[in-house]
Structure 1
Amino acid sequence: MTRVDPNESAHAAQGGRNRAIVIGAGLGGLAAAMRLGAKGYRVTVIDRLDVPGGRGSAIWQDGHRFDLGPTIVTVPQLYRELFAVCGRDFDDAVTLKSLDPFYEIRWPDGTRFTAQQDTGRLRAEVARLAPGDLAGFDKFLEDSAARYWFGFEDLGRRSMHQLWELIKVLPTFASLRADRSVYAHAARRVKDEKLRMALSFHPLFIGGDPLHVTSMYILVAYLEKEFGVHYAMGGLAHMARAMADVIEDQGGTLLMETEVDEIVVRDGSVTGVRLATGLEMGADIVVSNADSGHTYTNLLRNHRKRRWTKKRLTRTRYSMSLFVWYFGTKGTAQGWPDVGHHTILNGPRYAGLLRDIFIKGKLCDDMSLYVHRPSVTDPSVAPEGDDSFYVLSPVPHLGHDNGVDWSEEEPRYKAKMLKMLEEQLLPGLGEKISTEVVFTPETFRDRYLSPLGAGFSIEPRILQSAWFRPHNISEEAKGLYLVGAGTHPGAGVPGVISTAEVLSTLVPDAQVAR
C-alpha cells in the first residue's frame, strides 16, 4: 500500500481546482473515488485503517486470511460497469468463482434446504421441504422479480433526494405492497414455517429485521437466482485492492492510517477536512463514506444542521450488531466433507429471536449462525491442509438498555457458539482451532466508528429508505455528498456500490483548466 506524507497531500490539495476528498476507503468510498477520477477529479481517499476495503477488508494472522465482512459478490455487472467507466476490465483484475449451491440452511431437527440457481433443482428442494407450497413459491419468485426491476434497477440506481421523486412512485409502492414486511409477504405465499424462514431471512444480510423491513427486499431472491452468487478469489479485500489500484492509476491518492476529525464548512460550503493531527486539507467537494450518523453527528459537529440534527438521528433505528468469531483450524481441509462454503444454522426460534434482537435488545442464550468456510473454494485463505472460518451471530446493538459488557460476555457467548457448532455442524471443532479473532459490537463501534456498534448502519425500514434515508447529496452543506450503507440505496455490497453510481449523477464533471 502506498504511504503518503499528509503534509505533502495537504499542499497538493490546498486551493486546487477539481480536488475531491473521500472520507473512508470502504467499498462505497473506493467506488466513489473511481467514478470521480473518471470525471476528471484529482481524488484523495483518507481512511483510519491500514488497508482499503473498510468492512470488506481482511486481517492476516498465523498464515490465515480472515475476510472481515461481505463474503459474496452478487449482480457482478455492477462491478464490470464501474471498472468500464474507468476504462478498465474488471475481469482482468478480479476472478469471480460461481458458487452453486449458494448456501445450505439447516434446522435443529436435521432438516436441510439447499439454495441454488437451477430452477428445476430449486423447485425440487421446495417440493421436498414443503410439497404443498410449490405454487406459492413460484408466485414468490415472480413477486421478487417485479420488486428487483423496480426497487433495484430503477429506484436503487438514481437519486431520491427530492420529495417529488418519492411522490411519483407512491402508487407503485402501494401496488407492490411495500408496507408489508418481507416475512409477512413470504407468509402470504407459503405455509411451511421453514420455507418462510428460507424466503425471508435475506434482510439480515443488510441489517434489517425480516419482520419489519419492507417487502421490497424480497428482490434478493430474484437477484441471487438471476445473476448467481459468486466469490471473489482472494476475498473482497483483493477486490478492494484492485479498486485502489484504479484510483492510483487515475492519479489519486490513498492516505491510510489517517483519521478525519471534521468536515470544514465555511459560508455554507465545504472547503475540505481537518485531520485528527490538526492539519487542514482543502477540496472542492467532500464525499463521506463514513457512517451517515457519524458524518452528521461528529464530522459536522460544529455546523448547524437543518435536517439531520442530533435529535433526529437519536430517533433513527439502526441495524442489529454482530458477534463474529474468526478462527483457523489445523489439518481439517479434508474434514467435515458435508460442510460447504456457506451454511446457515438455525436455532430453535426464528420470529422470537428476531424480536429479542431488534425490538427488545435482549442477548439470548439461543442463536442462529452464518458459517463461512472460504477454504473449500479459495485455498489461499489458510496454510495447506488447514481451514479458515468465520461464524457470525446477529446480536443487539449497543443502544439498547441491556447491560451487556462485551469484555465479560465475549468468552461466554463464544462458548455457546462453539457448543452449537460442535453439535450441529463441526464435531470436534474445539480441539482443532489454532488461531482466532473475535469482533463484538464494541469492535464495530471502535474500528468502523459505527453508531451504536451497528453492523449495517441505518435499518432499511420503509420510512428509513429512499427519500427518508440520508441523501447522497447533502442538504447541510454545499459540496458535501454521502455514499455507503447509511445513504440511498442502502447496505449490502451491491447497495454501497450503487451509492457511488448515484453520486456520479449528482456531481458535475471536473472543469478543464484553460
Structure 2
Amino acid sequence: MPDVAQPRNKVIIVGAGVGGTSTAARLAHAGLDVEVYEKNEYSGGRCSLIYHDGYRFDQGPSLLLLRPLFDQLYSDLDTTLEEHIDLVQCNPNYVLHYHDGGKVVLSSDRAQLSREVEKWDGVGGADRLEGFLAEAAAHGSLSYDLVLSKTFNSLFSLLRPTFLANAIRLHPYGNCFNGPKHAKGLSWYPIGGFHKVIQSLVDIATSHGARYSFSTPVSAVTYDHSGRATGVRLSNGEWKSADVVIVNADLVWAYNNLFTKDDSQSNSGRKKATITEGGNDRETSELLDPKLARRLLNKPHSCSSISFYWALDSLIPSLNAHNIFLAEDYKGSFDDIFKRKGMPREPSFYVNVPSRIDPSASPDGKDAIVVLVPVGHLLPSSGKEETIKTFSNGSTVPDVDSQDWPSLVERARKQVIEIMEGRLGIKGLREKIIWEEVNTPVTWKEKFNLTHGSILGITHDFFNVLSFRHQARHPTVKGAYFVGASAHPGTGVPIAIAGSKLCTETVLSDLRIPRPESYASKRSTPKSSLDIQHRRDVLYVLEDIISTLFPYMVGMILMAIVGSGGLWYNGFFEDPPQPPATIFQQYQGETPPSLGLDLKSPVVLLGSLSVFILSILYIKLP
C-alpha cells in the first residue's frame, strides 16, 4: 500500500504580538499546521507602527537589544537576522540629559565611553567601568544559560545545583529589572521601524504554511470533558478546532476572559464571577479557575505610560536618536510611579527620534518624535478630577484614586515641552508640533487588552520570576499554553522571544515531536565587541576549577553520609539494636569497618556508589 500522509498537528495562536509571531514561525518551521488570530488589523501588538502623512512612529519598542536572542531565533529558523532586517548600530546608545544641563553621552565605542566616564567619574573611572562591564557580562551569560533558556515548572527547579551555585551572583534578592536595563553588547535600530522584525517573522511563518487572520477577535478557548483544549471560539460565534492552543494575548486578561466553564461541556452549578479592573466591575460567565484569575489580577503590575507621537515641521538638531531626560529627584519620580501608582510631579521621560538614524521615518527637513512618559497603571477606582496628596516627605503627587487622564495628558505635555526647551536651549517646540497622537493607560488597555493598562505586564520582583512566574503550560487545560510578557521568562521583546523558544520546545515535547535539527546545542551568547572583557584570569580560573569539582565534591559528601548510615545499618540489626551514638562510641580509638562499606554491607556499598553517580549526573545535566 502507498504511504498515507499523516495529518499535521493543528495549532491555533491567539494574538500576533512578539511572542505569538515568533512562536508561529518556530512551530510552522517545525512542520505543524499553524493559524494565528489577531484582534487588530495589524501584527506586532505594541511593536506596531503609527503612520501620518509621511511620518512613521514606533508605537512601542524602538531599540533592538540583547541581539544574541534575535540571532538565535533566526538561526533556529534556518536563516539569519541580516537576511531579513537592515540593522543600523546606534552610536551613541543614548544620551542622558540632567536637570542642571549636564549631558552624558553613552557611546557604543569603548574608548569614547571610557573617556566620557573619566570626565564624570574622575581618575580611575575607566578601570571601574571595565570592572562593571566584566560583571555585567558575567551576569548576562548566566542569565542566558540559567534563566532565559530554562523552564521553572516547580519550586524544585530552583534547587538545580547549577542554578544555586550561581544564583547569588545574579543578585536575585535585589530589585530585578525594576530600574534601567543593562543591554548585552550594542543597541540597534531596524530600518523601517521595529515592526520590520515582526513582519519578517510573519513572512517566515507563512512561507512554511502558517495562516494569519487579522481583525478576528477570539472570545474563548474551548476544551472537552477531559480538560483538553479543542480550539477557540471567535467573537462572531464561529468555532475553530485545534490540537494545541497558544495564548499570546495578555495572560491575566486571558485568565479572566478566555477560560470559562461556559466553554466546556460541564456547566453544572455555575456561579457568576465579578471581576474588578480599571475602575469597572463586570460580571462574567463562571471562570474556569476564578481564584487563580483573581490572584493574577491582583499581582503587582508594571507601569504604564503617556506616549506622545509628534510630527514636527522642522528638525531639532540637539536631539539624538535616543534620549533620556532625568528628573532632578529621579528616585522620587520612580517612587511616584511604582509605589504610589501616579504621575510624577516632575517626570523622567524617554525621547526617540527615529528620523535621526532612519530618514525614511519623516519627510526631508522634519522630525518624527516619540515621547514616553512613565506613569502609574490603571487602578480599580478612578474618579473624574485629579486631586493632590501631600506625603510626609513633603512631596505632592496626583491622588491615584482619581486618575483623570485627559488632565494628566495636558500636564505631561506641558512639562515635557518645558523641560526639553530648557535643557536643549530651544524655543517654540509646541508651535513646531503639526500633528499629535497620544497613548494613555486607557488606550493601551483598549488597544491590546493590557490588564490595568500596564505596558510591561506583571512585574519582575522576586516572587514573580522563575518558578513563581506562570510557565508555558496551562495548569489544568491540557494542550493550552501561554507565551508573552507575563509568562516566564518575562517582559521585553528579546525576553518574549526567549519565551517563544521555551513555549515551542514545551509544545513539541508534549506532542512527542523531535526538535528541529537547527535547535541542536547552539550557544545563545555569541561574542560582540562589548562582550570581550579583560577577564581577571586568576579568579576566573579558580572559578572554573571550583565549578568543575563541585559535583564531585557533593557526590563524595553524599556518599559519606550514606556510608555513615552503614554504621546505623550494622548496629540496627544487632540484638538489641543500637543507636548511632552508641555505635560511634563503640569504635572510638579503633578504625571503624570502612564506615560500614565493607563487603559485609554490599547494599550500603551499592547505595553509596549510586548516590555518588546520580548526584554527579544531576548536577551536570542542564
Please state which band the TM-score falls in when normalised by the shorter chain. Answer: 0.7 to 0.9
Q: Who is 1:313 aligned against?
A: 296
Q: Is the 8 A contact 2:221 2:229 kept in 1?
A: yes
Q: Who is 1:138 aligned against?
A: 130
- Which shifted more, 314-323 or 86-95? 86-95
Cα distance change on mapping 1:497 and 1:172 into 2, 3 Å? same
**Alignment equivalent of 1:279, drawn from 238, 255, 280:** 238
Q: Who is 2:151 aligned against?
A: 159
Give the drift of 1:312.
1.4
CA distance in 1, matches of 2:31, 2:288: 30
Q: Secondary structure of 2:73's match?
A: helix
CA distance in 1, matches of 2:143, 2:296: 25
TM-score computed with the length of structure 1 as normaliser: 0.84
In structure 2, what residue type is equivalent to 1:429?
A: L
Q: CA RMSD in A?
A: 2.1
Give the drift of 1:63.
1.7
Cα distance change on mapping 1:448 and 1:150 into 2, 3 Å? same
In structure 1, what residue type is equivalent to 2:167?
A: F
Q: Who is 1:293 aligned against?
A: 252
CA distance in 1, matches of 2:12, 2:153: 22
Question: Which of structures 1 and 2 has the larger relative contact order (alpha carbons within 8 angstroms, sep 6+)?
Answer: 1
CA distance in 1, matches of 2:291, 2:88: 41
Task: Note if 1:104 corresponds to 2:95.
Answer: yes
Q: Who is 1:189 aligned against?
A: none
TM-score computed with the length of structure 2 as normaliser: 0.70
Give the drift of 1:235.
0.7
Deviations 1:10-56 (A, max 9, x none): xxxxxx75110111111111000011111111111111111111110
Give the drift of 1:132.
6.1
Q: Is the 8 A contact 2:481 2:503 kept in 1?
A: yes
Deviations 1:251-289 (A, max 9, x none): 111110111111112221111111111111111101111
Residue correspondences, number:
458
CA distance in 2, matches of 1:430, 1:114: 26
Q: Who is 2:37 aligned against?
A: 46
Which stretches in structure 1 are left out of the alignment for 5+ residues?
1-15, 183-202, 211-217
Q: Who is 1:415 aligned against?
A: 414
Q: Is the 8 A contact 2:343 2:408 kept in 1?
A: no
Task: Note if 1:18 corresponds to 2:9.
Answer: yes
Give the drift of 1:448.
0.8
Aligned pairs (5 A) from 1:7-156: 17-131=8-122, 134=125, 135-156=127-148
Give the drift of 1:86.
2.6
Q: Is the 8 A contact 1:74 1:229 kept in 2?
A: yes
Q: Who is 1:499 aligned against?
A: 499
CA distance in 2, matches of 1:97, 1:428: 31
Q: Secondary structure of 1:353's match?
A: helix
Q: Who is 2:430 aligned against?
A: 430
Q: Is the 8 A contact 2:470 2:487 kept in 1?
A: yes
Q: Secondary structure of 1:281's match?
A: strand
Give the drift of 1:90.
2.8
Over the matched positions of the two proteins, sequence identity in percent amounts to 29
CA distance in 2, matches of 1:441, 1:106: 26
Quick check: which has more Rg, 1 or 2? 2
CA distance in 1, matches of 2:46, 2:131: 35
In structure 1, what residue type is equivalent to 2:10?
A: R
Q: Who is 2:604 aligned against?
A: none
Give the drift of 1:141.
2.2
CA distance in 2, matches of 1:119, 1:282: 54
Give the drift of 1:306.
5.9
Cα distance change on mapping 1:494 and 1:153 into 2, 3 Å? farther
- Which shifted more, 60-69 or 78-87? 78-87
**Alignment equivalent of 2:368, drawn from 388, 395, 418:** 388
Q: Is the 8 A contact 2:28 2:34 kept in 1?
A: yes
Q: Secondary structure of 1:323's match?
A: strand
Task: Note if 1:258 corresponds to 2:241.
Answer: no
Q: Who is 2:599 aligned against?
A: none
In structure 2, what residue type is equivalent to 1:435?
A: W
Q: Who is 1:3 aligned against?
A: none
- Which shifted more, 85-94 or 366-375? 85-94
Q: Is the 8 A contact 1:362 1:402 kept in 2?
A: no
Q: Who is 1:324 aligned against?
A: 307
